[in-house]
Amino acid sequence: MKGLILKDLYAMGGFYRNTFFSMVIVCGCFGFSLGAEGVAAATAIMCATMIVSTFALDERCGWHGFAAALPVDRKESVLAKYAVHVIYCFTGTFLGFVISIVVNMFAEQKLSIGELAVCAVVSFGISMVFGFIIIPIMFRFGAERARFIMMAVIALPTIAVYLLADKVNLGGIVMTDMGIKLLYAAVAVGFILIGWASCFISIKVYSKKEF
C-alpha cells in the first residue's frame, strides 16, 4: 500500500503549486466575504478535489492495467486511494485552519479558536464525504465522465441540506442539548456508514474491471 500512496503523492507533484496558487487567489479575493469559516471550508474542499486529478493521471498513463499485473490486490489499490484522500483532506483542513486564523484576525466579528477548530472539523468531514461520494464514481466511470456526474452528485445533497436547514430556521425549531448530542451522534454514525459503503462499492466495482 505504501508504494501506491507514494505513487499518487509523487504523480501530483506538479499540481500542488497550482492548487496552492488557486487557494491564495480564493482566499485573497473572497476571504473577507466568505469569512474565516468559509475560507476553512473552501481550502479543505479544494485539497479534497485533488483525488479527482489522481484518477485522471492514472488513466493518462495506463496505470490501472499495469497495476493489475503488480503484486497488489485490487482491494489494496482501492484502499490506497482512500488513504491518499485522507492525506489530502487532512492537509487541506490544516491549511484551512491556519488561514482561517489569519483571516479571523482582520474580521469584524471574530470567532474563538474553539469555534474555528469546530469549523475545521466540519470542513474535514465535508471534504471526506466529497471523496466518499466521488471515489466510487471515479472507479466506475473514469475521471472524465465522472467530473460531470460529480457536479450533480455534489450539488443535489448540498441543495437538499440547505433547504432543510432553511426550513428548520423558518420553523423556529430550537434544538435542546440532548437534541444536539443526538444530532452529532447521528452525523458520526452516518459518516462511518457512508465511508464504509463507499469503500465497499469501490472494491466491488474495481474488482470486476478489465483494462
Binding site for another protein (CB under 8 A): 1-7, 10-15, 57-58, 60-63, 65-74, 76, 210-211
Min dist. Cβ of residue 67 to another protein (A): 8
Q: CB-wise, 68 or 153, nearer to another protein? A: 68
103 alpha-carbon distance from chain centroid:
22
Q: In terms of C-beta density within 10 A (0-12 exposed, 13-18 middle, 19 or more buried), how is residue 90 classed?
A: middle
CA proximity to 93, closest of 158, 47, 26: 47
Q: CB-wise, 3 or 157, nearer to another protein? A: 3
Min dist. Cβ of residue 170 to another protein (A): 50
DSSP notation for 158-206: HHHHHHHHHHHHHTT----HHHHHHHHHHHHHHHHHHHHHHHHHHHHHH
Q: CB-wise, 44 or 84, nearer to another protein? A: 84
Q: CB-wise, 53 or 91, nearer to another protein? A: 53
Angle at 191 between CA 201 and CA 170, to 5 degrees: 125
Min dist. Cβ of residue 204 to another protein (A): 15
The H-or-E segment that residue 108 falls in is: none
Q: CB-wise, 2 or 174, nearer to another protein? A: 2
In angstroms, the CA 117 to CA 13 distance is 29
In angstroms, the CA 181 to CA 185 distance is 6
Min dist. Cβ of residue 134 to another protein (A): 20
Min dist. Cβ of residue 92 to another protein (A): 20
